[in-house]
Copies of this chain bind each other. A is one copy, B any other.
Amino acid sequence: MPRPSDTKQRIQEVARELFAQQGVQRTSLQEIADRLAITKPALYYHFSSREELVRSIVQPIIDEEEAFLVAQEALGEVEPRALLEGYFDFHYRNRREIVLMLSELTTLADLGLIDLVLEWRGRLGKLLHGPEPTLEQAARAVIAFGGIQDCTIQFATVPQDELRRVAVDGALAALTIKPPRKPARKA
């Protein structure tokens, strides 16, 4: 049986599935091994530790989000709708991994996920409202981006195009700030 094998990929597939189903912490190496009809130490041939297996699944998502942000920041001027749509597509594509990351933030603390998520939200807000947004602007950004994230998780079965429309529309609506007072009727 030796020589090139796709076992490493198959381990990751099974891990992704079990992690999504029952959580990272509640999934043991034994369970992953059983599902593949191999032994636990076989996993150690492909991954040096449990943590490395977890990281191999989560890290690509982190890298992709990071790359997305860097690309948008390099653009200089951002068009809100395009930014939100890009953000949506990224989250829709990786919704399985993202939900497991978000619903186990503390478990994955070793990866520094908590700080990363907070940092990303800050950077996203600055893309929309400049380097020093007001509290109101920051809140709107959190609602908009968080809302898109929630939509990809909550409505995971809705087709991408349809969901993108309603999610991005909703996020844009959340961003529109009405002038503070003065009804300004029939302006």
Q: Is A95 an interface residue (CB 8 A)?
A: no
Chain B residue at minimum C-beta to C-beta distance from A139: B166
Within 8 A of B (CB), among A129-151: 135-136, 138-140, 142-144, 146-148, 150-151
Interface residue A23 (Cβ < 8 Å from any Cβ of B): yes
| Cβ–Cβ < 8 Å partners of A23 in chain B | 105-107, 109
Copies in the assembly, this chain: 2
Give the number of residues in A that approach B within 8 Å (Cβ atoms). 45
Asked if B147 contacts A167 (CB within 8 A), the reply is: no
* Known contacts A25-B106, A103-B106, A104-B106; A139 and B155 CB within 8 A of each other: yes
> CB-nearest residue of chain B relative to A122?
B154
Q: How far is the CA of A176 from the CA of B173 in the complex (A)?
A: 7
Determine if A174 is an interface residue (Cβ-Cβ < 8 Å): yes
Kindly list chain B residues whose C-beta atoms are within 8 Å of the C-beta of A139.
Answer: 151, 155, 163, 166-167, 170
Contacts from A to B (Cβ < 8 Å): 22-26, 100, 102-107, 109, 114, 118, 121, 135-136, 138-140, 142-144, 146-148, 150-151, 154-155, 158, 162-163, 166-167, 169-171, 173-178
